[in-house]
Structure 1
């Protein structure tokens, strides 16, 4: 079942609702819903409030967003770039028409920009681990690198712990250890392209001599604050001028689906050992960076830290019109 957008319209005539996806400047019509005929007052309290304002016609439509669509993503513009940033966003358009074939015009339509977001899964995947062994020319002795993360799923702003274990049985010396967190953005349009951008990195002068072992935990925290000047960095879609963060990892069940057009984001940690006289050794660990799923309490308007002196009252679709107001209005009549 796809995501739903419940849209309440105060219009008359034939109501047509469209969901539009903007993919790097290209408009794609995703779905359309229409209401033809008599208007139904499906919400008593809301209807009473609108009747009080002499607004009679009320329409309630549910628009189903197709599955497997990418999330709202914006590519960060450069310091000298102007105009609208490239990326993927969604908007709902609603307009009145006399016939189903009539095209919408600005004078009889409204639009609402929305975001499609994904939250972190309740059950994260297994702990990422990787190892590799490197043999060198004219030597039967090898260099073994093993790396792991403390977990597979991270929330934005959370530090990432990288455990590095080196067993150097070779005759070479490890001179430095480089660790970087990289963002990969797959641009899936009529042709595909992939862009990678480091969002956090460490270069340590930790040396591992021949016939010795080394073990250390490195900590990196990828954030947008340290990457605001990087052109083309994928960010989570935002509304108006509010701040955002690095783009969340994209979870797509069926990558081959033709509906998946947009920016698909993934992250990896790269560990590189700089070895004397060449022959560097490196491995990569994929991980997931996402927002936590909101709890029921965070979705309610009563999340203020101030104590509630009175019991909560239910609200309808008009936030400032409560059931208590509705009862008082009926008493007045």
Structure 2
């Protein structure tokens, strides 16, 4: 039988343990997360040892260079753990595991981990140019080690780890078209100023222009001098009570059509394009979790089943378009906001929340990029 798919391989420093994974991105479907399935190949010298596997969520919430006097700004959460060897008496292998075991031969043992649905998404906060060490954010890795128990301290030479990501993809259906109307009246002045903002849709993919329709109706005696529109990224570091902040990741300012005199109106369309390339120097911007030496992008919107299910060690990302009308020093300003979703589309042919059960499903394990610290094997 000839089959063609790509796997990721990582070996412990002493060469006694070798981990194989079919992919490194595992999709969160809100109701559940794709299982992490792989195979461990053990050297003959380790046949009398116990081997354990774990999935670790590493949450760094402070700069590494500030860790002095015993301070530690990193929490490691063990979200899944099991004994891989000696193997359990009964186990059901996935198609990928069966094919790897057949190809690799003896001393191969399958493992499967299941993450809780509320596990936080992989997110990295962009460090400043002067920052050193590991950036803040949420990262995942699979760890397999030799020990006497799951809580035993692992030794580096007998441990193999591989970074993975927990990702979400955009829903298949668009939501309701975002639209809002805000008004402002003025003390001692008759009439009001009205601002209507509409987006052409609710869901955008990374790299897609956002079309903002602006309608201003000036029924007051004030003058609108300029208009500013921006895309704001909201970051909520759940661990901290005051851990919410916003950053503008795309903006434009115009005086075209201004001043808008009393009794006048203006309809205008502006285009905004939020991209990481325009925000390379901005410290603290949330990025999608990424593997070493791979390009990344602005973080995707975090989708939650309900607001109460926020994990305490997670980072929640949201986006909104904000439009401001400037009326001068005495008139103040009028602002309107519209939230929207920014995500990657679901890749073509990606399996649903199931194990691969057919030859066609095995093709889903193809990967376009590989972490440089991982050896890549292609079986044929």
TM-score interval, smaller chain: 0.7 to 0.9
User: Equivalences for 1:281-320 in 2 at 5 Å?
Assistant: 281-296=334-349, 299=364, 301=366, 320=378
1:35 to 73, 84, 96: 84
Task: Give the equivalent residue in structure 2 for 1:9.
Answer: 40
Distance 2:284 2:119 in 1: 21
SS at match of 1:46: helix
Q: CA deviation at 1:62?
A: 0.8
SS at match of 1:90: strand
Structure number with larger C-alpha Rg: 1
1:18 equivalenced with 2:54 (yes/no): yes
Query: Which structure 2 residue ranges, 5 or more long, are not aligned?
Result: 1-31, 61-73, 351-362, 369-375
TM-score normalized by the length of structure 1: 0.85
User: Equivalences for 1:102-141 in 2 at 5 Å?
Assistant: 102-141=152-191
Q: CA deviation at 1:260?
A: 4.4
Query: Which structure 1 residue ranges, 5 or more long, are not aligned?
Result: 304-317, 323-333
User: Does the aligned pair in 1 maintain the 2:85–2:109 contact within 8 Å?
Assistant: no
Task: Give the equivalent residue in structure 1 for 2:373.
Answer: none
User: Equivalences for 1:272-283 in 2 at 5 Å?
Assistant: 272-276=324-328, 277-283=330-336
SS at match of 1:28: strand
Q: CA deviation at 1:198?
A: 0.5
Task: Give the equivalent residue in structure 2 for 1:259.
Answer: 311
User: Does the aligned pair in 1 maintain the 2:101–2:109 contact within 8 Å?
Assistant: no
Query: Once structures 1 and 2 are overlaid, which stretch shifts more, 170-179 or 17-26?
Result: 17-26
Q: CA deviation at 1:321?
A: 3.0
Cα deviations by residue, 1:291-317 (Å, 9 ceiling, x for unpaired): 0000117946499xxxxxxxxxxxxxx
Bigger RCO (CA 8 Å, 6+ sep): 2
Distance 2:366 2:112 in 1: 23
Q: How many residues align?
A: 304
Alpha-carbon distance change, 250 to 302 in structure 1, aligned in 2, over 3 angstroms: closer
Distance 1:118 1:49 in 2: 32
Alpha-carbon distance change, 107 to 150 in structure 1, aligned in 2, over 3 angstroms: same
Query: Once structures 1 and 2 are overlaid, which stretch shifts more, 174-183 or 29-38?
Result: 29-38
User: Does the aligned pair in 2 maintain the 1:71–1:116 contact within 8 Å?
Assistant: yes
1:245 to 297, 301, 305: 297
Query: Once structures 1 and 2 are overlaid, which stretch shifts more, 226-235 or 35-44?
Result: 35-44
Q: CA deviation at 1:38?
A: 5.1
Distance 2:87 2:364 in 1: 34
Cα deviations by residue, 1:6-59 (Å, 9 ceiling, x for unpaired): 0211124433111111112221111212235358896565344333xxxx2111
SS at match of 1:173: coil
TM-score normalized by the length of structure 2: 0.75
2:103 to 45, 49, 74: 49
Query: Once structures 1 and 2 are overlaid, which stretch shifts more, 105-114 or 255-264?
Result: 255-264
Distance 2:80 2:242 in 1: 24
User: Does the aligned pair in 1 maintain the 2:219–2:262 contact within 8 Å?
Assistant: yes
Cα deviations by residue, 1:129-180 (Å, 9 ceiling, x for unpaired): 1101111111221111111100000011100010000111111110000111
1:91 equivalenced with 2:127 (yes/no): no
Q: CA deviation at 1:233?
A: 0.7
Query: Once structures 1 and 2 are overlaid, which stretch shifts more, 151-160 or 135-144?
Result: 135-144
> How large is the Cα RMSD of the aligned pairs?
2.3
Task: Give the equivalent residue in structure 2 for 1:193.
Answer: 243
Q: CA deviation at 1:216?
A: 0.5
